[in-house]
């Protein structure tokens, strides 16, 4: 599903990284005003707490951990989670052009909050489905290592299972406390590339299967980063009911794994 020639996406790690690059443009600016609706401020004590906390803060830098965008300031660190349909806007510029599951265009009624700077610019969160959240001094200890820079050593810790067979590898990939940034589409793409059944218990992966998954993890991040979005994976052409695998023509299977709709090839991921 695309919107004509417009790229359509889900805010997974690659999209949030492009939001971070957009946010880099406000480094050095000072916030004069901030606002948020009740949903965006849901993790804070109130929308007023956001307005009060951000006033007069100067942005000193940007960072990102997984899907969490971080704005560093001369005071607390500001965090933004984008949920399913959140897009970061800087005045007229969007961090990305469209969303896979989101609307085809931007509407002012879907602006849920943001900040205004001393130079007049505005950094805004556009979020039709209201799952984006602001945070103040977010707790990073609950997030695993960043998926865009995952080393082999970190990967080996990521697939380690303490007890029993462990969760399905698909569920482990989505576990943000194990590795931060992999969303549903990226997880399916990695497993497709690694020729792994998403239901495989993490603790039962062979050495060869772990090697394949690590390679697929890295290649998915780098090639989809170059292509420009989480929705541009090799398996996406086959990602519909009744779809056939673009690699070998096998029938695609659909099931809920790790709480998310999962597509995989019955032939090469069997």
Q: How many Å separate Cα 12 from the centre of its chain? A: 2
Q: Is 171 in the site for DNA (CB under 7 A)?
A: yes
The residue among 118 and 165 lying less far from DNA, judged by its C-beta, is 165
User: Among the candidate windows 44-52, 70-78, 98-106, 116-124, which touches DNA by CB under 7 A?
Assistant: 98-106
Q: Is 163 in the site for DNA (CB under 7 A)?
A: yes
Question: Is the distance from CB of 150 to CB of 179 less than 8 angstroms?
Answer: yes
Residue among 71, 123, 185, 205 that touches DNA (CB under 7 A): 185
* Cα–Cα distance measured from residue 73 to residue 19, given in angstroms and rounded to the nearest whole number: 17
Give the one residue of 96, 174, 213, 252 binding DNA; rule: CB under 7 A. Answer: 174
- Does residue 98 belong to the site contacting DNA (CB under 7 A)? no
Is residue 11 part of the contact set for DNA (CB under 7 A)?
yes
Q: How many helices (H) and strands (E) does the chain have?
A: 6, 11
Q: Which is nearer to DNA, 11 or 95 (CB)?
A: 11
Query: 191 to 230, contacts with DNA by CB under 7 A?
Result: none
Tell me how far, at minimum, the Cβ of 235 lies from DNA, in Å: 12
CB of 84 to DNA, least distance (A): 4
Q: Does 10 bind DNA (CB under 7 A)?
A: yes
Sole binder of DNA in the list 92, 120, 164, 242 (CB under 7 A): 164
User: Of 64, 106, 57, 105, whose CA–CA distance to 82 is shortest?
Assistant: 64
- Identify the residue whose tokens are 């090799």: 234
For residue 126, CA distances in Å to 16, 22, 228 come to 13, 14, 20
How many angstroms separate the CA atoms of 257 and 262, rounded?
Answer: 6
Assess contact for 201 and 31: CB atoms under 8 A. no
46 near DNA, judged by CB under 7 A: no
Give whichever of 54 and 171 is closer to DNA, judged by the CB atom. Answer: 171
Residue (37 or 211) nearer to DNA, CB: 37
What one-character-per-residue DSSP string does 136-195 give? ES--GGGS-SBGGG--HHHHHHHT--SSSS-SBHHHHHH-TTTSBS--HHHHHHHHHHHT
User: What is the number of other CB atoms lying within 10 angstroms of the CB of residue 207?
Assistant: 7
Q: Could you say whether residue 176 binds DNA (CB under 7 A)?
A: yes
83 makes contact with DNA (CB under 7 A): yes
Cβ neighbours, 10 Å, residue 87: 26
Selected binder of DNA within 168, 179, 221, 265 (CB under 7 A): 168
Contact letters for DNA, residues 121-160 (x by CB under 7 A): -------xxxx-x---------------------------
CA-to-CA separations, 130 to 23, 51, 53, 106, 150, in angstroms, rounded: 21, 19, 21, 14, 30
Per CB under 7 A, residues contacting DNA are 10-12, 39, 43, 66-68, 81, 83-84, 101, 103-104, 110, 128-131, 133, 161-168, 171, 174, 176, 183-185, 254, 256, 258-261
């Amino acid at each position: 599903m695309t919107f004509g020639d417009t790229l359509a996406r889900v805010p997974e790690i690659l999209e949030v990284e492009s939001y971070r690059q957009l946010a880099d443009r406000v480094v050095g600016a000072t916030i004069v005003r901030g606002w948020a609706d009740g949903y965006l401020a849901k993790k804070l004590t109130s929308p007023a707490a956001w307005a009060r906390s951000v006033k007069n803060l100067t942005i000193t830098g940007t960072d990102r951990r997984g899907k969490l965008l971080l704005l560093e300031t001369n005071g607390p660190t500001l965090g933004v989670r984008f949920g399913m349909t959140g897009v970061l806007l800087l005045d007229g510029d969007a961090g990305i052009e469209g969303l896979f599951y989101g609307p085809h265009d931007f509407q002012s009624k879907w602006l849920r909050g943001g900040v205004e700077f001393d130079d007049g610019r505005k950094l805004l969160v556009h979020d039709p489905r209201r799952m984006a959240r602001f945070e103040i001094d977010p707790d990073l200890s609950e997030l695993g290592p960043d998926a865009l820079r995952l080393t082999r050593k970190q990967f080996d810790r990521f697939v380690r299972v303490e007890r029993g067979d462990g969760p399905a590898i698909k569920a482990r990939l989505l576990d943000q406390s194990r590795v931060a940034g992999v969303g549903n589409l990226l997880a399916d793409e990695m497993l497709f590339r690694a020729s792994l059944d998403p239901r495989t218990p993490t603790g039962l992966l062979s050495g060869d299967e772990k090697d394949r998954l690590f390679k697929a993890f890295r290649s998915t991040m780098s090639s989809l980063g170059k292509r420009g979005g989480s929705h541009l994976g090799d398996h996406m052409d086959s990602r519909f009911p009744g779809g056939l695998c673009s690699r070998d023509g096998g029938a695609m299977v659909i099931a809920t794994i790790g709480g998310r709709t999962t597509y995989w090839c019955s032939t090469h991921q069997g």
